[in-house]
Chain A
Amino acid sequence: MSLDFFLEVTLKLLKGFSFTAEIFFVTLLFSLPLGLVVMLGSRSRFRPVALLTRAFVWVIRGTPLMLQIFIVFYGPGLLWESTMLPRMTAVLVAFVINYARYFSEIYRGGIEAIPRGQQEAAQVLGMSRAGTFFKVTLLQVVKRILPAMGNEIITLAKDTALANTIAIKEVTMAAKEFIATEAVLWPLF
């Protein structure tokens, strides 16, 4: 095998990896704050908002990410015969929605795991709601959700491979293509 060949493979994979990285970072960038919004919605004291958000979370949670990608990508075209979203946009939208709801549930769990006594103690000491959140609750929530967030982010890195189902040439797709054309497997290792 020549060095040229090795370089060619590496470049192809790097090109694929750039898509993978794009999906990963863009999803994180948007889903972390969007998760916060969804969490606030599901904890809203206005019942309809809370119910609607929880129903949405329930549906997204109960369906596979791959299906969601299909729906976002093919759905508009099939239902309204409108133009389809670009592949990358469709993937990003599906990922952001899916991960936002994961993160929202992690946030919610973190907040609900704080004993009620903490809030009551702050209230009796005359702290405002905002003051209680920033000075008492926030740090405890961060401590509680950090491990779960770590897991989720690792899962996201692996889930990016699902983008190849609508033909985005991320790293696994690039590798598959190469295997098919060159009929060898080993340079990939």
Chain B
Amino acid sequence: MPILEVKNLKKSFGASRVLEDISLTMEKGEVLVILGSSGSGKTTLLRCLNSLETPDEGSAAVDGEYIFGGPQGPDSGARFKLGLVFQQFNLFPQYTALGNVELAPNMMAKKLPDYRQHRRDILQRNRAKALELLGEVGLADRADFYPHQLSGGQQQRVAIARALALDPQILCFDEPTSALDPELTGEVLRVIRELKTRGRTMIVVTHELEFARGIADRVIFMDGGVIAEQGAPEQVFGNPSNQRTRAFFSSYRR
């Protein structure tokens, strides 16, 4: 069974149709890279999947559970199976790196039936896990730093650790390096590559073509709200069949 199944997703803002009939599936462990010029609907697609926008039509299901468009209406539980890393990091400025990572798990824990009895254990476990995640993104020694004390690259790595804290089945990246100085993109891309080696299922929207080619199991090229082309990276990068895809790549190689 595919881990993600999107069917006939449509979304317009007023008169402009941003997504026209998007359908796609993903397998567990797959890394899907979405390319396309700005305004092609990449970000809107990610935002729909993460319930930040309400789609007009269509359905999406993670691991067989509907995020939207299901027969019983929206299931609020399933959307937490996706995580999202933002272009602008969106860290919470009043918390340390560690605080940012453990905040959501700690708030989730309050809903547990045995929270009151095992409060201390649960919080300790969350903290240990948050520290482990910060270690994974190479920031164990920055756990007590506030976002404004960290570089952009470090902030984005904290944001990745924060997104991982809820164990999402699919992790989405919305242009994770677009807000960074060129010399800081490397450390973020390295972390994403490491996540791939650990078998993470990921959807990455990016403009870093070299990186995309290296990390993608499959590439989708979007244009004007539709999937213009998709396939293995060698095929899409090496020998694009679509006119728009060719134009897109040649504008990058100039």
Contacts and interface: CB of A to CB of B under 8 A. Distances in A.
Interface of A: 115, 117-118, 120-128, 131, 135-136, 139-140, 143
Nearest to B159: A121
Instruction: Pick from A117, A124, A127, A143 the residue with the most CB of B within 10 Å.
Output: A124
Main secondary structure of the interface of A (DSSP, over half): helix
A126 B52 CA distance: 11
B88 A126 contact: no
A188 B103 CA distance: 58
A175 to B, nearest CB: 46
Contact of B104 (A115, A117, A127): A127
A126 B108 contact: yes
A135 B90 contact: no
Nearest to B79: A126
A114 to B, nearest CB: 10
B107 A115 contact: no
Contacts of A115: 88, 90
A123 B83 CA distance: 11
A124 B76 CA distance: 11
Interface of B: 50-52, 79-80, 82-84, 86, 88, 90-94, 103-104, 107-108, 162-163, 166
B94 A117 contact: no
A139 B104 CA distance: 17
B92 A118 contact: yes
Contacts of B83: 124
Given A139-B94, A140-B94, A125 B52 contact: no
10 contacts: A115-B88, A122-B104, A123-B51, A123-B52, A124-B52, A126-B79, A126-B80, A126-B107, A140-B94, A143-B94
Contacts of B88: 115, 117
B84 A124 contact: yes
Contact of A120 (B52, B79, B91, B108): B52
Contact of B90 (A120, A126, A127, A131): A120
A112 to B, nearest CB: 17
A143 B83 CA distance: 29
A131 to B, nearest CB: 5
A132 to B, nearest CB: 9
A124 B50 CA distance: 7
